């Protein structure tokens, strides 16, 4: 059986492209498109269709049970039902995928009893909550809090798993759970005046990650490990900026805060982990890296700085240009990773032929 990567990930990439195009149109770029859906569903394409597919695929592939691939497939296929005008069916597919992913996370936690798996399971609860809220209210601002918690718990959980060999004292774990609990409670009560607590808690969690993650250790290494460390640090810094933006009085604060989190924090995590995750899904022993990765990393972060500055200064052309380069740099990076993997596979195939 071929790797599920080969028939599920293309659906995630379609979601990514549709989501990026929709984001560009929302910014004001005059892009003609046959269907207005990519504009209206920009957020759910990115969170559900693209990231939901990849996150769930990474978990289910460890079970070696073909039926479980219906979970990431459910996330991925939702983009096609959106594009064909069946939005209710798409929301149901996203919720079904979320429930399946939650069950998988719970089973993994029951089996291994790891802290990271526990946080991933909690993140899955928030993922379902976000898709359910969007289905019932059709309000992205209402779903945003749950999606934010989904990514926070998922990313922190994965970082704990990858750095579990580091010794941590009891007070360090206590601090981590303090920030996660206060973020969860203050996000749920945001409309009741807890924004100050939420902002401080996000900053607190980011500083915890900066102090306790292995990213600093990776900076002392070379090649892909150093790139990983720099990408992680960039993401943690954007999480601090997300918290600081919460104190802004700008009329465009929401757009700045939203993209500081989803692009600055979440996508920097994708840049860091893509060279590890994609080969693992393909079941190949190869970790792609090239110094040009730093170009994409720099473009993504500088363009996001442009976009956020454009929001705060109400300078629309700066915001539009930053948003355009955001999408191009992220797609360029993923294409770069894919090209390196394909070149490696072609080389390996030719080497085997020559060895016969």
Separation between Cα atoms, residue 6 and residue 3, nearest integer Å: 6
How far is residue 320 CA from its own chain's centroid? Answer: 22
Q: What is the pLDDT along the chain (356 residues), one digit of tens a residue?
A: 466 677 898 999 999 999 999 999 999 998 877 677 778 899 999 999 999 999 999 999 888 899 999 999 999 999 999 999 899 999 999 999 999 999 999 999 999 999 999 999 999 999 999 999 999 999 998 999 999 999 999 999 999 988 877 778 889 999 999 999 999 999 999 989 999 999 999 999 999 999 999 888 888 888 999 999 999 999 999 999 999 999 999 989 999 999 999 999 999 999 999 998 888 887 888 999 999 999 999 999 999 999 999 999 999 999 999 999 999 999 999 999 999 999 998 988 776 666 66
| pLDDT given at position 215 | 87
Measured CA to CA in angstroms, residue 315 lies from 20, 22, 172 at distances of 21, 20, 42
Would the CA dihedral through 326, 328, 334, 340 be positive or negative? negative
CB 126 within 8 A of CB 146: yes
| pLDDT given at position 280 | 83
Q: Phi first, then psi: what are they for 221, rounded to 5°? A: -95, -175
Separation between Cα atoms, residue 178 and residue 222, nearest integer Å: 34
Which residue in this structure is represented by tokens 């170009």? 295
| pLDDT given at position 248 | 93
| pLDDT given at position 245 | 97
| pLDDT given at position 167 | 78
Would the CA dihedral through 315, 320, 326, 329 be positive or negative? negative
Q: Which two tokens stand for residue 79?
A: 């983009």
Can you list the alpha helix ranges (DSSP code H) found in the chain?
5-27, 37-40, 42-44, 53-60, 70-83, 87-112, 115-137, 140-162, 170-188, 195-212, 215-218, 224-245, 253-259, 268-282, 293-312, 316-355
């Amino acid at each position: 059986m071929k790797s599920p990567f080969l028939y599920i990930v293309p659906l995630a990439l379609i979601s990514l492209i549709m989501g990026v195009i929709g984001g560009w149109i929302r910014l004001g770029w005059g892009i003609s498109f046959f269907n207005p859906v990519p504009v209206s569903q920009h957020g759910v394409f990115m969170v559900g269709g693209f990231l939901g597919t990849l996150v769930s695929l990474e978990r289910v592939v460890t079970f070696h049970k073909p039926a479980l691939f219906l979970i990431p497939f459910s996330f991925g296929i939702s983009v096609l039902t959106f594009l064909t005008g069946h939005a209710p069916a798409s929301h149901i597919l996203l919720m079904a995928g979320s429930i399946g992913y939650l069950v998988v996370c719970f089973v993994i936690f029951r089996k291994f009893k790891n802290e990271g798996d526990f946080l991933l399971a909690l993140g899955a609860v928030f993922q379902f909550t976000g898709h359910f809220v969007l289905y019932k209210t059709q309000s992205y601002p209402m779903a945003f809090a749950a999606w934010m918690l989904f990514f926070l718990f998922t990313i922190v959980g994965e970082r704990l798993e990858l750095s579990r060999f580091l010794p941590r004292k009891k007070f360090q774990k206590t601090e981590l759970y303090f920030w996660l609990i206060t973020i969860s409670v203050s996000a749920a009560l945001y409309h009741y005046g807890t924004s100050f607590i939420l902002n401080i808690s996000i900053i607190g969690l980011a500083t915890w990650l900066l102090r306790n993650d292995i990213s600093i250790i990776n900076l002392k290494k070379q090649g892909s490990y150093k790139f990983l460390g720099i990408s992680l640090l960039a993401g943690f810094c954007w999480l601090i900026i997300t918290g600081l933006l919460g104190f802004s009085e700008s009329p465009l604060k929401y757009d700045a805060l939203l993209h500081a989190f989803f692009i600055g924090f979440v996508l920097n995590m994708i840049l860091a982990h893509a060279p590890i995750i994609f080969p693992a899904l393909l079941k190949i022993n190869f970790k792609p890296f090239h110094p040009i990765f730093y170009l994409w990393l720099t473009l993504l972060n500088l363009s996001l700085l442009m976009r956020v500055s454009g929001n705060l200064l109400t300078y629309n052309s700066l915001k539009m240009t930053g948003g355009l380069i955001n999408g191009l740099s992220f797609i360029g990076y993923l294409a770069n990773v894919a090209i390196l993997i394909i070149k490696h596979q072609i080389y390996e195939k030719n080497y085997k032929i020559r060895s016969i």
